[in-house]
Amino acid sequence: MIYQLVLGTFVITVNAIFQAELFSAFAQKLEKVIVHLRRVFRRFTNTATIVICVLFVMAVQTVNVWVWGLTFYFAGVFSELEPSLYFSLVSFSTLGFGDIVLDEKWRMLSGLAAANGLLSFGWSTAYMVELVRRTQ
């Protein structure tokens, strides 16, 4: 149990660092992106900016899911990468289909992945609200 808590806490920390750094870097470049989009899309600048922001936020979430998926795979929870990524995605998104269930010795990791996803999506929502506000 302690190993799962330490491993899960480490993965959450790594994901928080990735997300913070990627969000910060994107926010610093956003003004330049908007200026370029105004030249290209004119009237549809806000729409284009929002679409780019959504795709960027989804890319960040994808990185988070991959980090969890690779953790499950390399920790030996799954013997193949595809089920590791699939389980990571359904856990991180808090969907939790239940068609794949972790062995009792690993099940705490699924809760940590879900908690990480819940916080990450909340943070992403707040970030998107701020980005949309900046485009207006």
> Over the stretch 33-75, which tens digit does the pLDDT of each residue have?
888 878 888 888 888 888 989 999 999 999 999 999 999 999 9
Tell me what pLDDT residue 119 has: 97
- Domain residue spans in the chain? 2-135
Please report which confidence band the pLDDT of residue 97 belongs to, taking 50, 70 and 90 as the band edges. Answer: confident
Cα 98 to chain centroid distance, Å, stands at 21
The answer, yes or no, to whether residue 136 has pLDDT greater than 90, is no
Instruction: Return the structure tokens found at 93.
Output: 């998104």
Backbone angles phi, psi at 106, to 5 degrees: -120, -5
The span from the CA of 106 to the CA of 88, in Å, is: 13
CA angle 25, 52, 116 (to 5 degrees): 60
With 0-12 CB in 10 A as exposed, 13-18 as middle and 19+ as buried, what is 111? middle
> Checking phi first, is residue 101 left (phi over 0); if not, alpha (psi -120 to 50) or beta?
beta
d(CA 23, CA 40): 24
- Whether residue 8 contacts residue 109, with contact meaning beta carbons closer than 8 Å, is answered with yes
Query: In the structure, what pLDDT confidence band is assigned to residue 124 with cuts at 50, 70 and 90?
Result: very high
Match domain 2-135 to its CATH number in 1.10.287.70, 1.20.910.10, 3.90.550.10, 3.40.605.10. 1.10.287.70
The rounded percent of the chain whose pLDDT value lies above 90 is: 63
Q: Which of 33, 10, 27, 42 is nearest to 123 (CA)?
A: 27
Whether pLDDT at 134 is above 80: no
Q: What confidence score (pLDDT) does residue 46 get?
A: 82
pLDDT confidence of residue 47: 85
The pLDDT tens digits for 75-87 are: 999 999 999 999 9
